[in-house]
Amino acid sequence: MRRLYQNTGIDKRHTVINDYAKDPSGYTFYPKNAQLMPEPGLEARNDLFIRESNRLSEQAARALFSRLPSFDRTAITDLITVTCTGFSAPGFDFHLVNALGLRPDIRRYNIAFMGCYAGFPAMRLARDICVARPGAHVLIVAVELCSLHFQQKTDLDFIIANSLFADGAAAVLVGPTLDPSPAHGENGHGARLLLDSFTSRIIPGSEKDMAWKIGENAFDMRLSAYVPAFIEQNIRSIIDEILRASEASFDDIAIWAVHPGGRAILDRTAAALNIPPSALGHSYDVLREYGNMSSATIFFVLQRILSDSATGTVFATAFGPGLTVESGLFRKVV
């Protein structure tokens, strides 16, 4: 356990469970004993998801709007929510409409239970909406509370999942007429990403190596040690595929945004592409500071890309159950 955690490349993670570092008598989620047993059931975990997904989705959206002070949120025509760590109807999409005063005729979509790559279908859907309906603006909000599903099981899959996953939320605005010069600050001084193209690939023979299902007490993750090898073997051909469709070359890629599913994934991706690990610096930084936050993680990486000085073509990718690899070719402009 000690060696495993030391090699994750993670310094800290965040959780909505407030029992950690407290005396057992003060626990509100776990039973009031040092063994944390019996473990909370699925209902208790999902109830906490409902409360915290409402709070964090609103917090993330308000943080986004604070960086776009001139944007009129009533211009948002569509809302896409993303999660694989909890369920409710109505969900946090409904909460966002009421809490943020979004228009009552807003179109809502929920991308659920797709895992770490789900941010890409969300961005692709948002892009397609804007292309199909000129003038549309789409708000994407991803909330993943992975720590709710930590379990005391000795299977290697559960041990690995407990060492990697964490909680996080992100909000993104996609549209054709976004103000390119909002107030300076952490928004990247007006930097934007143009969503040029997307591709999706299912890696043959990998279905059993990453899976996510509802278990007796929580959601159960299967995470094989072979996942980094599958990605290493396939990532270059995936990149070549999207480059051919875009009539671009490998040398055109100036910025890399790889989902930090784990340190081995980043290490092997860099090796397979023959690029220095420093090229994946933003991904390593997000892994170190936040861990793997499932679908929300890629947005943390893209935010760092928007905040630095580099511009040019961005290759972004994430991996999830299936084993599915979703990728996009973007352009960062200022």
Number of domains comprising the chain:
2
Which of 174, 206, 241 represents a domain boundary (last residue)? 174
- Look up tokens 């998801």; give the residue: 49
Instruction: Report d(CA 134, CA 128) in Å as an integer.
Output: 10
| Helices then strands, each counted (H, E), the chain | 9, 10
Domain for residue 185, yes or no? no
Half-sphere exposure in the Cβ direction for 265 (13 Å, CA): 25
| Residue-level pLDDT at 227 | 87
Whole-number Cα distances in Å, 145 to 80, 149, 287: 17, 8, 16
Domain for residue 179, yes or no? no
Domain for residue 19, yes or no? no
Give 235-274 as a DSSP string: HHHHHHHHHHHHT--GGGEEEEEE--S-HHHHHHHHHHHT
Which of 174, 206, 227 represents a domain boundary (last residue)? 174
Domain for residue 79, yes or no? yes
Per-residue pLDDT of the chain (334 residues; tens, 9 = 90+): 888 898 999 999 999 999 999 999 999 999 999 999 999 999 999 999 999 999 999 999 999 999 999 899 999 999 999 999 999 999 999 999 999 999 999 999 999 999 999 999 999 999 999 999 999 999 999 999 999 999 999 888 889 899 999 999 999 999 986 554 444 444 444 789 999 999 999 998 888 778 889 999 999 988 777 788 899 999 999 999 999 988 899 999 999 999 999 999 999 999 999 999 999 999 999 999 999 999 999 999 999 999 999 999 999 999 999 899 999 999 999 8
Amino acid letter at 311? T
Is there a single domain that holds both residue 167 and residue 201? no
Measure the CA dihedral 38/43/48/49, to 10°.
120
| Residue-level pLDDT at 179 | 52
Is there a single domain that holds both residue 168 and residue 56? yes
Is there a single domain that holds both residue 50 and residue 109? yes
| Spatial contact of 102 and 79, defined as CB atoms under 8 Å apart | yes
We report the CATH number of the domain holding residue 61 as 3.40.47.10
| Residue-level pLDDT at 299 | 98
Domain for residue 12, yes or no? no
Active-site residue set: 116
Domain for residue 182, yes or no? no
Is there a single domain that holds both residue 169 and residue 207? no
Domain for residue 181, yes or no? no
| Residue-level pLDDT at 187 | 43
| Spatial contact of 241 and 201, defined as CB atoms under 8 Å apart | yes
| Residue-level pLDDT at 181 | 47
Which of 148, 174, 200 represents a domain boundary (last residue)? 174
Closest by CA to 78, choosing from 12, 135, 8, 17, is 135
| Residue-level pLDDT at 13 | 97
Is there a single domain that holds both residue 69 and residue 204? no
Is there a single domain that holds both residue 58 and residue 169? yes
| Residue-level pLDDT at 3 | 87
Domain limits for position 66: 24-174
Closest by CA to 72, choosing from 159, 135, 166, 163, is 135
Domain for residue 58, yes or no? yes
Is there a single domain that holds both residue 146 and residue 204? no
Is there a single domain that holds both residue 206 and residue 296? yes
Instruction: Report d(CA 150, CA 161) in Å as an integer.
Output: 8
